[in-house]
Each structure stands twice: as structure tokens, then as C-alpha cells.
Amino acid sequence: MVDRRIPSYRRHKHSGQAVVTLDGRDFYLGPWRSKVSRTEYDRLIGEWLANGRRLPSSLNQTDITITELVELYWDFAKSYYVKNGHTTGHLPGVRVALRILRQRYGATFARDFGPLALRALQQQMIELGQSRRYINDNVARMKRLFKWAASRELAPVQVHQALATVPGLIKGRTDAREAEPITPVSDADFQAALPELPGVVAAMAQFQRLTGCRPGEVCLLRPCDVDRSSDVLCYRPESHKTQHRDRRRQIYVGPRARKILEPWLNRPPQQYCFSPKESARQEQEAVISLRTALGVAQYPRWNRRGDHYTKDSYRRAIVRACNRAGIAPWSPNRLRHSRATELRHRFGLEAAQTVLGHASADVTQVYAERDFKLAKQIMQQVG
């Protein structure tokens, strides 16, 4: 258990000075009870707390290794990449990048890690057959680690500045393989999987296909988030991908999507519309009915947890349905691509970006209001 107490301001009997002990080292602050010693005490404690109850490297005479740095950064990442009490999808990627870095350079001092070492890791990932984009993402996470370390005086700022000179891999100028592009789901594949999906997941997939929302947005949909004051509903997710950039997200729900959604809105305002528990109950009732008709007394029971689907559980449900239908599995994010492709073809690139929430972060509020009206008009026709 971590000791959460603050090291005390004490009097050193032999010298008459004030002293504080941090990480096993005594720091003499000046005359006991003097204003100078109190100020110095506050400064040292402030830096020690800001650095995660650890002395900054400028005060700590020991060098920090990559392994030690990775452990400190992982503790930070677990508390930073959190939204609404749950870890975000960034955290697994951070874990992978830290593992790659530690496996090869764990014993290296952080101050000695430079551009050549980072390039060596790039080449290692290329030889392992990883895709160019995957490699670039991992390298960017490693750079962020050293930027964080520099901000907390755990590593020299020159290390981060030097690593910033290493460019990402460029398409056509590297041996790294290119990942297969994400393509829309064909109508044939969607219709083939639909009968194999549980009722709850089928409604989610149909709603997402019509609105073009993100998988996470359909998973977290609640009645209280939906404005039903007009013919075109407006779904404002409490949590969304660009929330940390102070961007609004408004998803307009046209007549066809509204017809699918309305039966799921008849529940308490704060309750999630699409629940795995409800899906399990429906499956269980169907099995009970079938086994009763066949005269079979016993039947299996499902005990699914969670008040709402996650992106992963939603995707797994679709993959299982695709396997039962005998077609190649597709992910729910491809439904978003399907809607984007149709919107771009019928209304142009700007319209597709507007409906799907792809506008850049620096768009002014005036343009945002104009875009929301355009999105509402479009979804009146096609949603």
C-alpha cells in the first residue's frame, strides 16, 4: 500500500536548520521556522508531488532506466486515458508500444535513448511484418512517453527534441506493408448477417447503418440523450471521440432510423437503450420456448454482465452472426463507412463530413451551426 502522507518539515538538532526527507535524502532548508525555510519546503514538496511523489531528475542523483520510465508512464496513462470512469481505447495501444520499447531497451538509461534507437525499433517492427500505420502509431506513442518524461524532469528535454526529428514511415517509401483499407459493408453481406443477429444487436446495426454514427455512440445511447421535439430526432452523445477537444456531437435521426429506435426509447431516461442483459434474456426465452415445444425440460442460461454493449462486445456479436451466416466477418465501423460512401456520392464530401462529425477541430461556431442545419436537412431525406 502506497504511503500518501506528506514528508514533514522538521528541525535538525545539530545544525539548527529545517530539514525534509524525500526519497531517502535529507534536504536542508535554512534556519528553523524561518520564512526562507518554509518557502523552500513548499517548493520541494510541490515538485515532489507534481512528479508523482518522486524527486525530479534535477534533484535525484540516480539515472532512470527505460524500464523504470515505462512503469511510471504506465501508472500515469491508466489514470489519464479515462472517460466517464472507463479506460479509453487508447490504453491498449499504449501498452503495446511500451512493451516493444522495454523489451529491447529496458536496461538503457533514458538520457541515452536517441533517434538511432528509435529507428532500430521501426526496422524491427517492419521485419515483424507490422503495417506502416501500426508502426507509425507505436512510434508516436514512444515519442509521447519521452515528452511526458521531459515535462516531469525524468529525462533531458533534448532526448524528446532529438526523437521528434525521426519521421513517420511514408507510403511508397518504406518496406513496411500497407494494411488493407476499410471498405463499406455490401448490402448483400449486411442482409445475410441481419437474421443471425440477436434482436438488440440487429437494431443497433440498422440504426448505425442509417445514421453513420460510431460504434461507441450507438452502444451508449440513452433516452435522455435524444431530443424528440421535431420529426428529425437529435441524439447528443454524452461521451464521444472528440469530446476532449470541446466539440459538440449531434447525430440526426431521420424517419427510417427513428422507426427502428423508438421501441428502445421506452425505458427510464438514464438507462441504456441497448443492453446485453436484455439480449441474453430474449435469447433465453427463445430457447425455452423451443425446448418446451420439443418436450426438453432443461435449457441453458446466460448470465451476461454490463448495462450496455461495448465496442468490442458489439463487434464480437456481429462476427459470430457473420460466421453463422457463412460470410466473411465485417466490423461495425464498416457500417459507418457505408453511410459515408453513400452520402459523399449523393451530397458531396462536405455533407458526408458534416453528418459523420468529421469537421476539423478549428471550425468556428458559425460554421458549426450552419453544418448542423445541413446535416438535419440531409437526414430528413435519407435517415
CATH number of the domain to which 131 belongs: 1.10.150
- In contact, 343 and 356? CB cutoff 8 Å: yes
Give the three-state DSSP class for 325.
helix
**Within-domain flag for 297:** no
Instruction: Tally Cβ neighbours within 10 Å of residue 123.
Output: 13
**Within-domain flag for 366:** no
The pLDDT score that the predictor gives to residue 363 is 31
How many CA atoms lie less than 13 Å away from 28 in the CB half-sphere?
8
Do 201 and 334 reside in the same domain of the chain? Answer: yes
**Within-domain flag for 320:** yes
Do 197 and 335 reside in the same domain of the chain? Answer: yes
Do 40 and 88 reside in the same domain of the chain? Answer: no
Of 375, 194, 369, 197, which Cα lies nearest the Cα of 283? 197
How many angstroms separate the Cα of 180 from the Cα of each of 96, 131, 134, 173, 175? 21, 9, 12, 17, 15
pLDDT tens digits for the chain (383 residues)? 456 789 999 998 877 889 999 888 888 888 888 998 898 899 889 888 888 888 776 655 457 889 989 998 998 999 888 876 777 778 899 999 999 999 989 888 999 899 999 999 999 999 999 999 999 999 999 999 999 999 888 888 999 999 999 999 998 899 999 988 778 888 999 999 999 998 889 999 999 999 988 898 999 899 999 998 888 899 988 765 555 555 678 889 989 999 999 998 999 999 998 888 777 666 666 555 656 665 655 555 555 567 788 888 899 999 999 999 999 999 998 888 888 878 777 777 777 777 777 654 333 233 334 455 667 777 788 87
Do 191 and 320 reside in the same domain of the chain? Answer: yes
The pLDDT score that the predictor gives to residue 247 is 63
**Within-domain flag for 213:** yes
The pLDDT score that the predictor gives to residue 301 is 55
Do 233 and 263 reside in the same domain of the chain? Answer: yes
**Last residue of a domain, which of 14, 30, 60?**
60
Do 33 and 79 reside in the same domain of the chain? Answer: no
Do 47 and 99 reside in the same domain of the chain? Answer: no
Residue ranges making up the domain that contains 7: 1-60
- In contact, 179 and 134? CB cutoff 8 Å: yes
**Within-domain flag for 174:** no
Do 324 and 233 reside in the same domain of the chain? Answer: yes
**Within-domain flag for 367:** no
Q: Which amino acid is at 308?
A: H
Do 142 and 206 reside in the same domain of the chain? Answer: no
Question: What torsion do the CA atoms of 136, 141, 146, 150 make, to the nearest 10 degrees?
Answer: 120
Domain count, the chain: 3
Alpha helices in 215-359 (DSSP H): 215-219, 255-261, 276-293, 311-325, 333-347, 349-356
**Within-domain flag for 157:** yes
- Residue holding cell 532529438? 162
Do 134 and 192 reside in the same domain of the chain? Answer: no
What is d(CA 130, CA 175) in angstroms, rounded to the nearest whole number?
10
- In contact, 197 and 205? CB cutoff 8 Å: yes
Do 191 and 333 reside in the same domain of the chain? Answer: yes
Q: Residues, the chain, total?
A: 383
**Last residue of a domain, which of 60, 88, 104?**
60
**Last residue of a domain, which of 116, 147, 163?**
163
- Residue holding cell 534507437? 117
Instruction: Tally Cβ neighbours within 10 Å of residue 128.
Output: 10
CATH number at residue 233: 1.10.443.10
Do 34 and 95 reside in the same domain of the chain? Answer: no
What is d(CA 47, CA 27) in angstroms, rounded to the nearest whole number?
13
Q: What is the model's pTM?
A: 0.62
**Within-domain flag for 224:** yes
What is d(CA 131, CA 136) in angstroms, rounded to the nearest whole number?
9
For residue 299, give the C-alpha cell: 435449457
The pLDDT score that the predictor gives to residue 360 is 47
